[in-house]
Structure 1
Amino acid sequence: MSDTHKLAELIARHAPEDGSHSTAIPNLWVARCSQPSDAMFSLQEPAFCLIAQGRKRVMLGDLIYEYDSSSFLAASVDLPISGQVIDATPERPYLGMRLNLDIALLTEMVLELESRDAVLGEPVRGLCVSTINEELLSASVRLLQLLDKPADIPYLAPLAQREIYYRLLTGEQGGAVRSMARCEARLQQINRAIGWIKRHYNKPFSIEAVAAEARMSASTLHHHFKSVTAMSPLQYQKQLRLQEARRLMVSRAMDAASAAYEVGYESPSQFTREYGRLFGVPPARDVARLRAVQERDPSAA
């Protein structure tokens, strides 16, 4: 049996129903989906994502990434993305895993592998899709196999995760992942800016305040922020606002105007326009569709 089939079998066993499932291994999630899905908007944490069966499309700003069992996705910072399963059937469901990454550990390992004078550099896009190799796939299988041996998890899971980090950094397609970690100084500044925006997403936007938090000039922040996230700081805040408004309308039954004010919009009409541009339909239609989906499949909530 190939490692891809082993991975699919392990995920299918530990994700018996559609949805995303946490596991006994910290930071490890497995997912199943039996049919193509609508685009789901979320804030992607730093993570290594691998598909054993099916295909997925991820959108970051205007950029589109697609990957399947021959590739993997890695993210180095919190990014507002939309993800959509595009290849899945009940007979052959989408099966995937996600391992949230410790960027500090990843950077520490880069320092062990390279000279320290290579640490600083120009930040790269915070999301990449690369071809997977046999070593990385085998390391991922070994990590998931520990789910069948719970007593081994506290002792062997950290070693298995460290091997995945090592394979990410040393594989043929590891250049982009190394670049993510190698630019930690700049990424720390971008992460400080992201943190400010997340804390103040419902307040008036101030590029000067964000730049001060990042300890960069406004022009330098704008350049590096866009190179990492594929959007400007203001666009990033707008996506956070709209995603939170969507959550409030679905989970707390808020009307569009109330949700708009809650997340910082002063003009309901502007909110409706921007909501429609991001999600494709006006708020009321979108929320009605999402509630209908939840009634049919509570796990989609």
Structure 2
Amino acid sequence: MDNGDQMIEKLAGVLLKHAAQDGINGTSLPRVHVLRSSQPTDPIPVLHKPAVCFVAQGMKQTMLGDEAFPYKPHQFLIVSAELPIAGQILEASMDVPYLCLRLDLDPATVSGVIQDAFPSGARYDPPKRGVDVSTAPPELIDAVLRLACLLNVERETDRHILAPLAEREIIYRLLMGEQADRLQQIAFAGSKLSQINRAIAILKENYAQVLRVEELAARVNMSVSSFHEHFRTVTSMSPLQYQKHIRLQEARRLLLTQGCDAATAGFAVGYESPSHFSREYSRQFGLPPKRDIEKMRGLPAFV
């Protein structure tokens, strides 16, 4: 077993200790979560925020549109925009559960590291697809392991002082690798990805309203043609398709948490016809609203 395998094995042990149940487990460290699953799953649609995910055990696949991004130990997933994706656990068992550390990406922290790493300024590149998978070099795995090990320390002061240092090193290691462009554009206010992220925020805040693409493009200071091109590049869908995903995700949340019926949830997110809502819901989640919610209530929370 080489040093990289030893670090992955140790990381799995730390994460297992802090994953009390299947699903997403919060931790004492800001922006750090531990994901666990004791069995393979069907694809689970979620709205994934910008983050980097390091697998310590098992295997997962993320789907964005028709594109599949499988990843396993020694690999990481990076998400550079808030995207409606489907996550599926491919390899997991009670004895060897899927384990993953997710670090949510904070633009201010990323920007600070970029300014220190590139004092003369970093380059602006056209945005790429908002999801990708890469191999994690040993230096990056080591930094992730040290961040995870802070979950075991007893003194809160140690976590408070050392966690930001480990987080900055992780970001620095990512900036030195093949995902540097995706990471950099998260932090640049004037980057095309930043403009697309602003459009995504507008769509999220106004998901129940009728929005024109021309209005969205103007609000983020882009031409309509450039906006369409870059939005589809990042998200793999059009702005209106993205809005539909947001509507259906919110409707699913309402059905799960408030116990309302399908017609009420559909009207709340902007649908005028219950039958139209049910058709699109079934197309998105694979089951009619009532049956989907019954199934979801028996699953761990991966949202």
Do Structure 1 and Structure 2 share a fold, with TM-score over 0.5? yes
CA deviation map 1:96-153 (0-9, x unaligned): 1100112343244334444756532211112111111101101000011111114211
Identity between Structure 1 and Structure 2 (%): 45
Report 1:30-49 matches (<5 A): 30-49=34-53
- Once the two structures are TM-superposed, the CA of residue 267 in structure 1 deviates from its matched residue by 2.0
Change (3 A) 1:180 1:235: same
CA deviation map 1:35-64 (0-9, x unaligned): 112322222111110110001111112221
Change (3 A) 1:174 1:287: closer
Return the alpha-carbon distance in structure 2 between the equivalents of residues 44 and 200 of structure 1: 18
- Once the two structures are TM-superposed, the CA of residue 90 in structure 1 deviates from its matched residue by 0.3
Aligned to 1:134: 138
Return the alpha-carbon distance in structure 2 between the equivalents of residues 260 and 19 of structure 1: 27
Q: Does 1:146 align with 2:145?
A: no
CA deviation map 1:61-89 (0-9, x unaligned): 22211101121001112111121211100
Q: Which runs of 5+ in 2 are unaligned?
A: none
Report 1:1-301 matches (<5 A): 2-114=6-118, 118-151=122-155, 152-171=158-177, 173-178=178-183, 180-181=185-186, 185=190, 186-291=192-297, 293=298
Return the alpha-carbon distance in structure 1 between the equivalents of residues 182 and 152 of structure 2: 30
- Once the two structures are TM-superposed, the CA of residue 177 in structure 1 deviates from its matched residue by 3.9
- Once the two structures are TM-superposed, the CA of residue 228 in structure 1 deviates from its matched residue by 1.1
Change (3 A) 1:59 1:117: same
Return the alpha-carbon distance in structure 1 between the equivalents of residues 265 and 187 of structure 2: 40
Aligned partner letter, 2:36: R
SS of the equivalent of 1:99 reads strand
Return the alpha-carbon distance in structure 1 between the equivalents of residues 214 and 129 of structure 2: 23
Return the alpha-carbon distance in structure 2 between the equivalents of residues 218 and 176 of structure 1: 24
Return the alpha-carbon distance in structure 2 between the equivalents of residues 300 and 65 of structure 1: 17
> Is the 2:44–2:88 Cα contact (8 Å) retained in structure 1?
yes
Greater share of helix: 1
> Is the 1:111–1:119 Cα contact (8 Å) retained in structure 2?
no
TM-score, normalised with respect to structure 2: 0.90
- Once the two structures are TM-superposed, the CA of residue 268 in structure 1 deviates from its matched residue by 2.0
Q: How many residues align?
A: 296
Aligned partner letter, 2:198: R
> Is the 2:32–2:102 Cα contact (8 Å) retained in structure 1?
yes
- Once the two structures are TM-superposed, the CA of residue 265 in structure 1 deviates from its matched residue by 0.8
Change (3 A) 1:4 1:117: closer
Return the alpha-carbon distance in structure 1 between the equivalents of residues 302 and 124 of structure 2: 42
SS of the equivalent of 2:30 reads coil
Return the alpha-carbon distance in structure 2 between the equivalents of residues 156 and 285 of structure 1: 46
Q: Which runs of 5+ in 1 are unaligned?
A: none
Return the alpha-carbon distance in structure 2 between the equivalents of residues 182 and 161 of structure 1: 15
After superposing the two structures, state which structure 1 stretch, 120-129 or 91-100, moved more. Answer: 120-129
> Is the 1:51–1:69 Cα contact (8 Å) retained in structure 2?
yes
CA RMSD of aligned residues (A): 2.1
TM-score, normalised with respect to structure 1: 0.91
- Once the two structures are TM-superposed, the CA of residue 181 in structure 1 deviates from its matched residue by 4.6
SS of the equivalent of 2:200 reads helix
Aligned partner letter, 1:24: S
> Is the 1:121–1:182 Cα contact (8 Å) retained in structure 2?
no
* Runs of 4+ with deviation above 6 angstroms: none
